[in-house]
Copies of this chain bind each other. A is one copy, B any other.
Amino acid sequence: VNETAAENVQMTHRRKVILDELIKDHSHPTADEIFHRVRKKLPRVSMGTVYRNLELLSKNGLIRTIESGSSRRYDADLHDHYHVRCVICGKIDDAPIEPNPELLLQMAEATDYDLTGHNVEFFGVCPSCKRNDDFKHQDNQEEQDNG
């Protein structure tokens, strides 16, 4: 529609460093986590710059955002994929299954909306949190709640 093509984003140095850090980082980091990584290379970078650039990159389709827990996360992997979130530690992983194109088609037929996409998020306990729970009793699991 009115989205600027990726080529239209002028790559300032800060912008490129932020994007590159996100490309290297497959953990779906928050703005704050990206900020700390970027700061190692650009010690004077500010939080505002990180937020402004992440928003610009996302609006121009060079990265995508994940709205899930209390803070937004970012993902430079544009390949269509689903996510799974650990309800204990909050970690987000890529789901190891292919998106189902049927889902969108089925919905497109049933709704009056003009669809542009869909997100799928699974919830569960990640392997590492499962292991921890084997040692502890399964009492204190209320650190994170699923959505």
List A residues at the B interface (Cβ < 8 Å).
1-2, 58-59, 65-69, 82, 84, 86-87, 93, 95-97, 100, 103-104, 106-107, 110-127, 130, 138-139, 141, 145-147
Contact = CB atoms under 8 A, between A and B. Distances in A.
Contacts of A95: 107, 110-111
A122 B114 contact: no
B117 A146 contact: yes
A138 B67 contact: no
Contacts of A147: 65-67, 119
B107 A111 contact: no
A98 to B, nearest CB: 9
B1 A146 contact: no
B100 A113 contact: no
Contact of A122 (B118, B127, B146): B118
Contact of A118 (B86, B107, B121): B121
A23 to B, nearest CB: 20
Contacts of A124: 111, 113-117
Given A113-B126, A118-B123, A145-B59, A100 B97 contact: no
Nearest to A1: B138
